[in-house]
Structure 1
Amino acid sequence: MFVLDNSGSMDFEAQDGYSVNDNCKGSTDWWSDCYRKYGWYSMRSSDINTQYYNPSITYAARVNSGGVKLVNPIVFVDNQSSGNSAPSHSTYTTATGASGKKFTYVLCAGNDCSSSGTRTVVDINYPPGSGTVDLPAGHKRTECGKNATSCTADLERQNIVNWYQWYRTRTLAVSTALGQAMQSYENKFRVGYAQYNAGGNAADHIVRGVNYFKDDPNVTANNWKTKFYDWIYGINPSGGTPSHNALMLAADYFAGNETQTSSGATPTNPWKNDPTSSGAVNNTDLSCRRAYAIVLSDGAWNSGTTKGAGTKYASTAGATNYSGNPSGNPATLQYDPNGAAGYNSGTLTTKLAARNLYIPYSDGGISSNGFADLTARYFWNTDFSSLPNNVPAIDGQHNPTFWQNMTTYTIGWGLTPSGDSGTSGGLTWDQINAYNNDWLAGRAATQPKWADNRSSVNLNSSNTSDSLRVNDFIRAGFTGGGRSYSVYSGEDVRRALDNALSGMVGSGNDAGVAVSGNSSEFQTLENQYKYTTEYQTADNSGDIKAFRLNADGGYLNVDGSGKAIPAWSANTKMPALANRKIFALSAYDANAPDWGAAKRKELTPTTRLDSLPTDFTALLNADNLQRLDNSFIRYMLGEDPQTDINGTIYRSRKQPIGASVNSPPVFVGGRIDMGYSIYGSVDGKDLYAAYKARKSALPPTIFAATNNGKVHVFNAAKDDTTLTGTPAGAELAEFMPKGAMASQIDLANSNFRFRYTLDGPLVEQDIYDRNSQTPAGGAAAWRQLVLGTGGRAGSFMYGLESPMNTANRTPTKNHFLWELDNKTTGYGDLANVTNNPTAGQLNDGTWVMLTGSGHYAGAGKKVGLYVVEAVTGKLRAFIPLPAGFGNDDTVNGGNRGLGGVVAVRDTSRRIVAAYAGDANGNLWRFDLRTASFSVSYNRPLFTTPGGKNQPIYATPTWQTHPGDATACTYSTSTQCGAIVVVGTGILLDEDDLQTPATKQAIYGIWDQTPIGSGDKAGFGKVAATDLVEQTIALASAKDGSGIETGKKFYQVSSNPVDWRTKKGWVLNLGAILYTGAMANGERVVGDLANLGSSVVITSFLPEDRNLGIESCTATGSLPNIIYVLDALTGKNKSSFDIDSNGVFDLYSIVSIPSGGFTRGNVSSRNMVGQPNEGRPDLKPDADCTNEVGFLTGVGGTQKAGDGCPAKGWRRSWRSVVSPPF
């Protein structure tokens, strides 16, 4: 619920108390109605009158409900005259009328307008002409060009008229900012609204109850979003400031006590599944929705208007010990104004856990009748519904409540804490921030001076200063479970709203996971660890956490509510600043590899900015605002506060780890066994077994890319004693690619809005450095490389090394091997690479990384495969798609890009080919024999029937094909090619969430070219008519039991494939439906993997943009469907133990309502080679192998197998790592 103040003061065009007529240009005071000296100048200076036109801000146009910018009819504004207490603007809509007019604004240094030496008067005349206007230092203008120091006079004119039309008054600015902020949240909230006054008197009813925040294109009356915009743009300011009454309207609505809206309509029921319904709730309605109120006001609430706050709720123990079942287990919680149980424990871990549960904002009972007590009442002491109490707690936001309460945010226009306004000993924002930081860090924490050192205060008394009610309004945002913001401009309002709204939806832990263990340990997952990421995009914060697993892959340690207890959190294990360092590369050219020390830099807390090479300072001081000492480097390393040369404080961060939104962590230890010591003849074959044993014995590490621009390396040992002096979870090092260094200034900006900085995948690879090329030097040796990309953040890639030193795994600057971007020679077609690279040795001996060129390269760029030297980044080859299939594909309007790449190795274990799909539905084979380096067949191997509506994004998998028993039959001397399995679907941008026209599918395609050979002569492109269709048997649906309870299992058909006439198979997705899921929306975005003779495919179902999937699971994840099919034919297999009796049943599909397996999954089994490649000996697998694996995602673990008929079978295992989308 939005609760907006529409009191009369919201129509003010200036700060209170101005008298600004034309006589007020001098030092005269109290004469000629001049209540403020130099008031004519002060009123026109945003340094003094923060509401006035500010040349440092871009005043964006107001938008309509569809996000379309409105057209400003005003050509010019003249402000040369003033009334006694307000400016007297004259507006003109034609050039003729505006001719000769002038607009003046004033810049007052040090907030002093008293002399010509401290004020700069800027005149904008009409017509503006072709001249320019200087911009203030540190401006935030976006329309004048990058790093602009001036703007054209006409752009300045347009900015002025936009300010006048849409930001001049408080109501205009608030409405415009609210309309802009809400565009990013279509259909992500149910939205209702109330206002303070109606007809000049305190409102009796809400304006509208919550409903979908979207317009129904098929029903004109259901234009809910348009109605919201009509309301915010049509508010009429009039009346007083009865804040308590206005908030109670929202609370009464949530409680079901509102009988009508202000228009007389029956209000909707906020707790119904159907938000258009006004009926009573029942047991079919979801009980886990969280209710919010955002209150925006410009003044201290009126004395004598308090209601509902007779009890000091914020300073008194909760009246109820609430009980519920928020995570499937019983839970209880009762508010304690001193803090949660354990807040003062002598055990640090206990203390930190308690203090992070919630932050109390008691004032010791000093104040009474406050707005803060009312918001605390609705947050801690009110259950608005009889529905079960299972609202998921919000990790990272210190909100443990699980009942149907109301969280309140307060936004105060011009409302400054009393101490910051000059009251000696009064409340300040520094006090509030220090209290929060000290509380969460486990230090002694002093409550802010909410009551300005008074021992008792009745906030409802007319004798009480308004400044104390302003303090109380600020406190109310914190006691209400949200937070508070002071705003002074439309830009401040937009930023505060975006921060609050994104905090409600912009959080998660769905980037993916890593799982510990070595390549021969996966008979069970018992005592292995799962590593997860968390993120809050509102403030770009995150965490990496480790959880110990039980034998089935569930959490071993849980609290009384069933919530998993982490073994460690990286934020709480972060070393002291003095022990942190950043490694970076300077002026590295991948095409001329240089291992010199000068290329590799170590940034420490003592590193001065002016000591860095020029390519670093060009990025870190591009705006010339950083101090040249070590302050900005210390800020990058995590120290707050720090300031720039103007004293502007850099953005404060609540924790040192940034958000990992799409990049899962990578476990770097002994999981991978490429089988090089047993199979083939790669360089270093005789040394591989010892290397594998060594990397399995050494302490493992976690590499994690985050959107603070760093790859963090953490100690992933299972205890705190493995590395002397370095506990498990502690950071060992940080790497910063220059592609992310370029964003450090933006990350320090207090106006920062989340954007991707370093968000691509990371992969571990075994590489033999036969020429001792790495800067760490030494003899030729196997090296454990970690290869990464910028992902959505940019077109760059980099290579790191995890050292094999015997003492520890701590990297140095020498373990930053290489980096490159799309400006590096030969890499001009590199786009945003969001799929995992792969690596290996070519038949000419070169060890390479393979990756697609990515997506969104843009017009004129080619789409293709990059072959990159793995140790140096040097370009080995770029193989573009044939003419007419890249961005020159006129049929499809271009080609967004190439997806994940799987390598094909021959019996020597050297890469000879690769498969990848593209965004237009083409499946490609690349001939990587070094004498060839070409696109096989000079055309696609197969194109999906839906083309660009059935894109291939996820990395394919392949297995050896046995042949057709006629033209070709596999033998030790005869290869019959490969069966290549792909899943279709993509999710890279908002357009991909539009309801697709075509259902997605899984395809198995026979590539008849023998592995290691040239293109098979006469082999034509596979067509849809060459495929046998398998279907999902919906009638076979069966509910799981035991540990599989809550899941549903299905069989698929087993139609035979006659390889003499057919070339593959297809299984169409979209048959298994969920209420609220997008029609035709099921898709595959995670990499495929082999499991014996089966293939594992995970799909997910996004929510319908016009409905929305809603669930009361603890994770809130989208539905997932896991397919374990026969790779050769797509037929049904014994893949799941549906009744938990230890035997795999003849079911190939499991449907999980809220699975958490969307992306970044890890499949654990004892294996040799990469998970999506065929057997190292290139033999076709038997029809079943009895291999078993565990698929672990954010939401849990699913056991699967390649089951044979029950008869004394053995198990074998192997590990798989899949990337994010």
Structure 2
Amino acid sequence: MNRSLKISAKSSLCLSTQLSSVSVASKIVVAALLAQLGASTALAVPYSLAQQPAGTGGREPAPNVILSIDDSGSMGWDVNGCMTMDWDFAYYGSRFDAGASAGNCPARESNPNPSRMASLKSALFSQFGDASLATPTKGKIPDGRIRLAWQAMWNNGRGNDNQAGNLTVGNLNSMKPFSGTHRANFSSFVTSLRAKQGTPSHKMMENVYNYMRSPVGDNSPWADNPGSSQSTAYLACRRTYHVFMTDGAWNTDGGRTAGNADGSSLTLGDGITSYSPTSSQSRVYKDGFGAEADKPSTLADFAFRSWATDLQDGTGSTQNMANSVRPLIRKSGTETVINPANGHSTALQEFWNSKNDPATWQHIVQHTIGFGNAAVTWSGVPVWDPQTDNTYGGDYAMLVNGDITWQNPIAVAESNRSFELWHMALNGRGKFYPARNAEALTAAFSDILDNVIIDTSTSLVSVAANASRIQTDTLVYVAGYESAAWNGHLQAYAVTNAGVSSTASWDAATLLSAAVPANRVVLSYNGSAGIPFRWGSLPSSSPAIQRTYLNSADTRGAERVDYLRGVRTTEGAAANTFRTRTSVLGDIVNSNIWYLGAPTSASGLAGYAAFASANASRVPMLYVGANDGMLHGFVASSGANRTAGSERIAYVPAGAYPNLSNYTQQAYTHRYFVDGSPFSGDVKVGSTWRTYLAGFMGAGGKGYFVLDVTDPSTTNFAESNASSLVVLDKTMPTDDDVGSIFAQPSKDPANPTRAVQFTMMNNDRPALILGNGVNSTNERPVLLIQYLDGAKEVLPLIASTATGGSNGLGNPQVIDINGDGKADLVYAGDLKGNLWKFDVSKASPSNWKVSFGGNPLYTAADSGGTRQPIMTAPVWLPHPKGGIMLGFTTGRTLTSADRTDTSQQTLYGVWDNTVLALGANQTLTVTDDPAKRVTDGQDSLVQQNMGTVVLTTVAGRSFFTHAANPVNYGTTGINPNRRGWYMNFTDSGERASSNPYWFNGNYVMVPSAVPASGTDSNTETCSLTSVREVGSLTVVDLIKGAPPKLPVFDTDGGGFTGSEVVSSKVSNQDDSVSFSTGGGQGKLLGTKCIGDGNCSGLGTDKHWGGTVTGWRER
């Protein structure tokens, strides 16, 4: 039942000059759990909604990638070693290629096969994109995801000279973010490549080493933005990769040497770890060649030197960068490598295992690609296994155990040197990719880029946070997340007289991960009805958009559905596996837990008593949205045939599908999915009462959905009932007025598990009333009346017809004036600071309207005229002079920029003195008088000032109060008559955090907060910065704007003894707080108190009464 205000001749409280008295049918009690909405910052359309919690959004620096390309003459041959027209000379044969014999090849003019160079160009364009096309492509690399430098052996494809510095700071091909002009330059480079001359591989390796040893300067490859001046230290955690691609062995060394780097004792780049070539741990790396003065080093020596050396150690004018590169450990602990031929074994320590890259210093990881038979074939040891093409296969175990050693590439024939590509990769902690044909070459580049992106996509720190809590008589339920793997939790803690237990009774995440995926009840929507979320249930023909989205990344949609349902066998670290999860339950950030037990409304409407009786013993449930693409329903407490914390139902909204494939990717970047807060209500559909639950995507997408949660028994919550359990889904809206909805429940005082947004309308149809949210196509404020019966159509009440204004309607307050269980008035604010009133009191929808002639009741703006957004629902009380007194707060937190916005936000008390009159049979008449608007902004109100002097501090919480200026109410709003009051928030950046709510008598409780902030999601960083939320609660007389007359809070921590300070505001500088009190002395329990047995709550005096609320940190 809606909160109602009955008006009768026997009442003593005047609502209007035409009514003698009123009586309150039900006790006015409002309680709101929280949601994060806030600050006002002018932004371009549409709003760029934040997709990560504050302080978890910074991204690991884009890696340096150096691409070295073989443009030697043999690249003019095909993969079989036969000439093509890309070769400069005309004759038959294979020259030096072991893959073909002279005379076995066609004339180059008639060779149907593409040259290796042509295949190379095709592979590069497919993976890196082609900016030269009329419609440029980007391959698999988004703009800025890597930084790229490149070189080719012969003057970068333009000549015969290989002695010039092909890779030099400031050159066209030097390190820059891979986007824009740099993309275009790379495409031009690829296009210009032509096969010529020999293979000077040593020069290429030396170029890379010298380039990454470049001194400090604007064009340094380590600079944050090469080419721009920089006064701060370079990001020391940036990774560097070298991809060396060749079609055969080197034949020109140019006298370059790195010494016998892998065969000499040295101290590694951390300045601590010693490398010894005589150790059993180093046998796979070392060889005995490269020390002779008249002989070149091996290519493996160059690779080892580039890995083992701190490339930016402060010597040679380099920057002395911190050793902050994150180790990559793919095989943790000790691995015993056994030679199956003789049983010899070596216990490789984690650091020396070539599968791992433990280096923390600035170094180069080496990947190699051998293209064509000549690059993957050699005689003698070590033997490569062509069946597996595994870097750690073949004779790898023999090398590790010292049963064989590397050949001397200097002493063998050119055709036998290709094994060096394998040795180089192991010494540089990378992989060797044998590519025998064009398809394998493309796959090699693809896999390398996949792994580079995966390697640089790990969360920088593990941030754990409790994001939502709700309390019953015996349990506190807490939801939250850990950002390291973006897993969530929903835990229950026992509540006793001594406080909250420090140990969770259960965690839904643990139970869900242990559940059998095939047995889960997961539902979805096919565009017209509810369906099971299984691949076979998704439409396979028009429209097949859900399958298309799930297949979009790799055509593995069926496996992806199984993964989302909880199958773990496809998880792993390899590029062809799905992202590894620590829990099947995704992170829970902005979605508040909704508890639903037995029906408890005091509704006297026909049939409700029988409905409540029939469902008195239904299973209590917890509903919450998670960023795994689902709304989850968990059993709240144990009982007959039920396990507390077990999942009964989950729902994948239609609007989640466009991004579900990203959720499974190794390089997953966090985004919100089902991040809105669900709430429920009892509605009469036809002749039957039902309990419906509304869910929202929040910043995860547009629209809303409704589920029938009347009966959560296992027989009813079943996939076979999907069509009846899913009432509607409008998360892929075609309505241009539906945006991303950040709804909070305005609770029915008679039933705290019912939101007043579920209501009966005066045309006797059940409905869900919502603000249309932000980023709708039309960008205007609209009240959505979503019918829940019949055709389930939407009736929009458009507050402002102007489109494209970056506007939208926030949370509505629904008021039943005459107590008949039907909505009469709705108040809601918008992003432009307008407080709108909607009159839905008539029986015919054609008479429903925006009050005051289509104008707002009030427009919130600060003293300088800057509009203040209103996104939370107003709280209301009857005014002693008639009409309705409304309390509302301003501010928003939608974008990352909003978190640090310091625009002045305000708490308002505004009197709507519209005449409300009752006729026969409680028939309501609402007079619409545009002259009743408050048009002079703050000039029509009395300013109240919250004190900034701390009265006292206890347990990290500071207490304040304010003095009240008298408010002389008058209809004109012109001095000395006023239409209310306002009070600016005093902390910099403080703004509304959730709906204000009724507390006691004329007093209301107002939650506010300075939101958490931290590294922006677009900022490259080696360490995240995070400033936690600081929440506040203000108690104020809504009519007078005055502080309480008696103590509200225990300001000395010793319980209420009579010595407490009378305060009107508490600001928590230690941890966010929440409180629960059922008429006795209560405690404000912080979300960070949960699980901490030493955490004391903030007391509230028993004479104030009260209800459940929340005040939390994000």
Q: Shorter-chain TM-score: what band?
A: 0.5 to 0.7
The verdict on how the C-alpha distance between 1:613 and 1:22 changes in structure 2, with shifts beyond 3 A counting, is closer
> 3-state DSSP class of the match of 2:491?
strand
Q: Deviations over 1:508-533 (max 9, x none)?
A: 667x7343543x55xxxxx5231223
- Specify the alignment match of 2:596 in structure 1: 669
The Cα of 1:57 is off from its aligned counterpart by: 6.6
Indicate yes or no: 2:760 matched with 1:842. Answer: yes
The verdict on how the C-alpha distance between 1:872 and 1:1062 changes in structure 2, with shifts beyond 3 A counting, is same
Tell me which amino acid in the other structure corresponds to 1:694. Answer: S
- Specify the alignment match of 1:681 in structure 2: 604
Distance 1:1000 1:730 in 2: 42
The verdict on how the C-alpha distance between 1:1021 and 1:532 changes in structure 2, with shifts beyond 3 A counting, is same
Q: Tell me if structure 1 keeps the 8 A contact 2:560–2:664.
A: no
> 3-state DSSP class of the match of 2:655?
helix
Distance 1:877 1:192 in 2: 54
The verdict on how the C-alpha distance between 1:1215 and 1:421 changes in structure 2, with shifts beyond 3 A counting, is farther
Of 649, 673, 695, the residue aligned with 1:733 is 649
The Cα of 1:1218 is off from its aligned counterpart by: 9.4
Tell me which amino acid in the other structure corresponds to 2:491. Answer: A
The Cα of 1:771 is off from its aligned counterpart by: 3.6
- Specify the alignment match of 1:854 in structure 2: 773
What TM-score, normalized by structure 2, do the two folds share?
0.62
Tell me which amino acid in the other structure corresponds to 2:738. Answer: L
Q: Tell me if structure 1 keeps the 8 A contact 2:914–2:927.
A: yes
Tell me which amino acid in the other structure corresponds to 2:509. Answer: S
Gaps of 5+ in 1: 62-71, 73-156, 168-172, 183-190, 208-212, 215-224, 251-259, 270-274, 280-288, 321-361, 379-385, 433-446, 478-485, 522-526, 559-563, 589-598, 773-779, 969-974, 1074-1080, 1169-1184
Q: Tell me if structure 2 keeps the 8 A contact 1:979–1:1007.
A: yes
Distance 2:1034 2:331 in 1: 38
Indicate yes or no: 2:796 matched with 1:912. Answer: no
Q: Tell me if structure 2 keeps the 8 A contact 1:203–1:246.
A: no
Q: Deviations over 1:213-259 (max 9, x none)?
A: 99xxxxxxxxxx99999999999999553799789979xxxxxxxxx
Of 984, 987, 1004, the residue aligned with 1:1072 is 987
The verdict on how the C-alpha distance between 1:532 and 1:3 changes in structure 2, with shifts beyond 3 A counting, is closer
Pairwise mapping of residues 304-703 of structure 1 onto structure 2 (< 5 A)?
A: 304=259, 306=261, 367=284, 412=367, 414=369, 451-452=396-397, 454-456=399-401, 465-471=420-426, 473-474=428-429, 499=454, 502-504=457-459, 513-518=467-472, 520=473, 528-534=476-482, 542-546=487-491, 548=493, 556-557=501-502, 567=507, 569-570=509-510, 573-586=513-526, 588=528, 599-604=529-534, 607=536, 612=539, 614=541, 617-621=544-548, 634=562, 637-639=565-567, 652-655=578-581, 657=584, 659-660=586-587, 663-664=590-591, 666-670=593-597, 676-677=601-602, 681-687=604-610, 690=613, 694-695=617-618, 698-703=619-624
The Cα of 1:421 is off from its aligned counterpart by: 7.5
- Specify the alignment match of 1:761 in structure 2: 676
Q: Deviations over 1:316-366 (max 9, x none)?
A: 9x999xxxxxxxxxxxxxxxxxxxxxxxxxxxxxxxxxxxxxxxxx99776
> 3-state DSSP class of the match of 1:455?
helix
> 3-state DSSP class of the match of 1:620?
helix
> 3-state DSSP class of the match of 1:1029?
strand
Q: Report the identity percentage.
A: 13
Q: Deviations over 1:1129-1167 (max 9, x none)?
A: 555565655653335654555556686x6xxxx955357
Indicate yes or no: 2:740 matched with 1:832. Answer: yes
The verdict on how the C-alpha distance between 1:620 and 1:1111 changes in structure 2, with shifts beyond 3 A counting, is closer
> 3-state DSSP class of the match of 1:887?
coil
The Cα of 1:866 is off from its aligned counterpart by: 0.9
Q: Deviations over 1:27-71 (max 9, x none)?
A: 9863478888799876668994266464x678375xxxxxxxxxx
Q: Tell me if structure 1 keeps the 8 A contact 2:502–2:1091.
A: no
Distance 1:16 1:571 in 2: 60
What TM-score, normalized by structure 1, do the two folds share?
0.57
Q: Deviations over 1:799-838 (max 9, x none)?
A: 113353567885543453322438878x453223233465
Q: Tell me if structure 2 keeps the 8 A contact 1:791–1:834.
A: yes
The verdict on how the C-alpha distance between 1:867 and 1:982 changes in structure 2, with shifts beyond 3 A counting, is same
Distance 2:893 2:557 in 1: 46
> 3-state DSSP class of the match of 1:1059?
coil
Distance 2:933 2:828 in 1: 18
> 3-state DSSP class of the match of 1:1058?
coil
The Cα of 1:934 is off from its aligned counterpart by: 1.7
Q: Deviations over 1:90-120 (max 9, x none)?
A: xxxxxxxxxxxxxxxxxxxxxxxxxxxxxxx
Gaps of 5+ in 2: 1-60, 154-161, 171-175, 191-200, 225-229, 251-256, 287-299, 311-319, 334-350, 352-357, 411-418, 433-440, 746-754, 917-923, 971-976
The Cα of 1:685 is off from its aligned counterpart by: 4.8
The Cα of 1:851 is off from its aligned counterpart by: 0.9
Q: Tell me if structure 2 keeps the 8 A contact 1:668–1:700.
A: yes
Distance 2:725 2:1109 in 1: 27
The verdict on how the C-alpha distance between 1:228 and 1:1028 changes in structure 2, with shifts beyond 3 A counting, is farther
The verdict on how the C-alpha distance between 1:414 and 1:1109 changes in structure 2, with shifts beyond 3 A counting, is closer
- Specify the alignment match of 1:900 in structure 2: 811
Higher normalized contact order (CA 8 Å, seq sep 6+, divided by chain length): 2
The Cα of 1:454 is off from its aligned counterpart by: 3.3
The Cα of 1:748 is off from its aligned counterpart by: 8.8
- Specify the alignment match of 1:959 in structure 2: 876
Distance 2:322 2:258 in 1: 38
The verdict on how the C-alpha distance between 1:533 and 1:421 changes in structure 2, with shifts beyond 3 A counting, is farther
The verdict on how the C-alpha distance between 1:1031 and 1:193 changes in structure 2, with shifts beyond 3 A counting, is farther
Q: Which has the larger radius of gyration?
A: 2
The verdict on how the C-alpha distance between 1:688 and 1:1138 changes in structure 2, with shifts beyond 3 A counting, is farther
The verdict on how the C-alpha distance between 1:239 and 1:699 changes in structure 2, with shifts beyond 3 A counting, is farther
The Cα of 1:922 is off from its aligned counterpart by: 0.9
Q: Tell me if structure 1 keeps the 8 A contact 2:285–2:427.
A: no
Distance 2:772 2:732 in 1: 14
- Specify the alignment match of 2:633 in structure 1: 713
Of 828, 837, 842, the residue aligned with 1:925 is 837
- Specify the alignment match of 1:941 in structure 2: 857
Let me know the Cα RMSD of the aligned residues.
6.8
> 3-state DSSP class of the match of 2:609?
helix
Tell me which amino acid in the other structure corresponds to 2:912. Answer: D
The Cα of 1:22 is off from its aligned counterpart by: 1.4
Distance 2:167 2:499 in 1: 52
The Cα of 1:895 is off from its aligned counterpart by: 3.9
- Specify the alignment match of 1:1116 in structure 2: 1026
- Specify the alignment match of 1:596 in structure 2: none
Distance 1:999 1:505 in 2: 34
- Specify the alignment match of 2:1054 in structure 1: 1141
- Specify the alignment match of 1:298 in structure 2: 244
Pairwise mapping of residues 217-228 of structure 1 onto structure 2 (< 5 A)?
A: none
Distance 1:23 1:204 in 2: 25
The verdict on how the C-alpha distance between 1:634 and 1:5 changes in structure 2, with shifts beyond 3 A counting, is closer
Aligned residues: 889
Q: Deviations over 1:976-1013 (max 9, x none)?
A: 312221222342476x57967x4333333222346775
The verdict on how the C-alpha distance between 1:235 and 1:930 changes in structure 2, with shifts beyond 3 A counting, is same
Pairwise mapping of residues 859-898 of structure 1 onto structure 2 (< 5 A)?
A: 859=778, 863-870=781-788, 874-875=792-793, 877-881=795-799, 885-888=800-803, 894-898=805-809
Tell me which amino acid in the other structure corresponds to 2:876. Answer: Q
The verdict on how the C-alpha distance between 1:1028 and 1:995 changes in structure 2, with shifts beyond 3 A counting, is same
Of 852, 855, 867, the residue aligned with 1:950 is 867
Q: Tell me if structure 1 keeps the 8 A contact 2:326–2:360.
A: no
- Specify the alignment match of 1:977 in structure 2: 884
Q: Deviations over 1:623-643 (max 9, x none)?
A: 999999976754664557889
Distance 2:449 2:1048 in 1: 51
The Cα of 1:388 is off from its aligned counterpart by: 15
Q: Deviations over 1:366-418 (max 9, x none)?
A: 6457989998999xxxxxxx999999999x9999x9x99779995847599x9
- Specify the alignment match of 2:725 in structure 1: 816
The verdict on how the C-alpha distance between 1:20 and 1:368 changes in structure 2, with shifts beyond 3 A counting, is same
The verdict on how the C-alpha distance between 1:226 and 1:294 changes in structure 2, with shifts beyond 3 A counting, is same
